[in-house]
Structure 1
């Protein structure tokens, strides 16, 4: 079994579309908040185990072996999130960090039993797809910024960003909710959305992590 650190690198590579393109060490360094020499050292270790391939001046990409392993990690994580919410009654903003810890410690048998218990779900509590049979592309990829003031949209997926999830929860906004885009302010880079009588202000950065249709 890989270490937690190695698995975090694999997920970071896939997050940056490392299944189809090379990802620079600089991007990984910034995303993981790890110094570049340490990133280079870890990439070398992953390449030795044939989980990634590298190309000079291009970066790193997942191999088929690496992709399969990464999808297994994501499946574990997202099933655990569902279990924590549906069975243990966690709130959606609480489950990400808990699942981050548990995903490295459960067996394949546990995951299979969990999948069956949850009736083979399609998505996690945040709307992210649960990989199956090498099908892993997200179902919802259009973010809030692609729409205009006056549009009604339905919240379908939110990135696992704890502060954002806590904020949305405080405004009673969750997956499946319809909201009105009241205004988009390019100068201050904020979006105002409304659910019921409540108006919520989102930075462009946060709005880019909310996927709607």
Structure 2
């Protein structure tokens, strides 16, 4: 099993579609908040170990071995999140940090038993797909930024960002809620949405990691 740090790099690459395209070192650096020279050094190690492929001036992508390994990490993380909520009563903003710790410390046997206990779920508490048989494609990929003012949207997935989840919980907003896009402020880069009786203000960067389906009239 790789170190926690290396696994975090692999997840970061996959989160930037690093199976289909090359991801820049800058994007990885900003995502993980790690200095560029350290990123370059770590990617070099991962390439030597066969988990990634790098190309000058383009960046890095996962190798087939790296992709399969990363899917195992994602599966472990998301099953643990679901277990923590359904069995131990965690809230959805609490589970991510806990799962980040546990995902590096459980065995494949534990994951298989957990999967069976939870009846082989399709998605995690945040709406993310749980990978199976080497297949990984999120069910919901249209971010709130893609919708127009006046659209009614069902929230289907939120990327794991603890601060964002805490904020959404403070607004009583969760998966399955139906919201209305009230205003898109291109100058200040904020999105205003209506959720029940509450108005929720999102930065464009946060709105970009909340995904939904438009409700037809």
User: What residue in structure 1 maps to residue 127 of structure 2?
Assistant: 127
With the length of structure 1 as denominator, give the TM-score of the two structures. 0.97
Select between 144-153 and 60-69 the one with higher mean Cα deviation: 144-153
Secondary structure of residue in 1 paired with 2:150: coil
1:180 shift after superposition: 1.4
CA distance in 2, matches of 1:195, 1:28: 33
Give 3-state SS (helix, strand or coil) of 2:199's partner: strand
Aligned residues: 213
Q: Report the equivalent of 1:9.
A: 9
In the alignment, structure 1 residue 46 sits paired with structure 2 residue 49: no
Partner residue in 2 for 1:149: 149
Unmatched runs of 5 consecutive residues or more in structure 1: none
Q: Name the SS for the 1:105 alignment partner.
A: coil
SS at match of 1:145: helix
Please list, as runs of the form range in 1=range in 2, the aligned pairs for 1:162-177 lying within 5 A after superposition: 162-177=162-177
Match in the other structure for 2:161: 161
Deviations 1:97-133 (A, max 9, x none): 0000000000000000000000000100000000001
Matched with 1:188 is 188
Pair 195,36 (structure 1): closer, same or farther in 2 beyond 3 Å: closer
Distance 1:30 1:198 in 2: 32
Partner-residue secondary structure (3-state), 1:199: strand
Give the stretch that moved more between structures: 91-100 or 8-17: 8-17
Counterpart Cα distance in 1 of 2:187 and 2:38: 38
Indicate the residue corresponding to 2:21 in structure 1. Answer: 21
Partner of 1:74: 74
TM-score, length basis structure 2 = 0.95
Structure 2, unaligned runs of 5 or more? none
**How many angstroms apart in 2 are the aligned matches of 1:37 and 1:183?**
40
- Point out 4+ residue stretches in structure 1 off by more than 4 angstroms: none
